Structure 1
Amino acid sequence: MERAKSTNKSVPPGLYAHLGLLYATSGDTNKAFEQFEKEKTLFTESKRFIDFIERKHQGK
Structure 2
Amino acid sequence: MSRHTTTRLALPIAAALVMAGCATTSHQPLYGWDGYQPQVYEYLKSSGNADAEQQVAKLEEAQQKIEQRGQALPPGYRAHMGMLYAKAGQDEKSVAALTAEKTTFPESASFMDFLLRTLTGKASQ
Global fold match (TM > 0.5):
yes
Task: Provide structure 2 residue ranges, at least 5 long, that are not aligned to the other structure.
Answer: 1-62
| RMSD (CA atoms) | 1.0
Residue equivalent to 1:33: 95
The structure with the larger Rg is 2
Q: What is the letter of the counterpart of residue 27 of structure 1? A: G
Q: CA deviation at 1:3?
A: 1.6
Residue equivalent to 2:50: none
User: How do 1:1-60 residues align onto structure 2 when only pairs under 5 Å count?
Assistant: 1-59=63-121
Large movers: runs of 4+ above 3 Å: none
- Identity among equivalent positions (%) equals 37
Give the 3-state SS of the residue equivalent to 2:115 in structure 1: helix
Residue equivalent to 2:56: none
Task: Provide structure 1 residue ranges, at least 5 long, that are not aligned to the other structure.
Answer: none
- Counterpart-to-counterpart distance in 2, 1:26 and 1:8: 28
- Counterpart-to-counterpart distance in 1, 2:71 and 2:89: 30
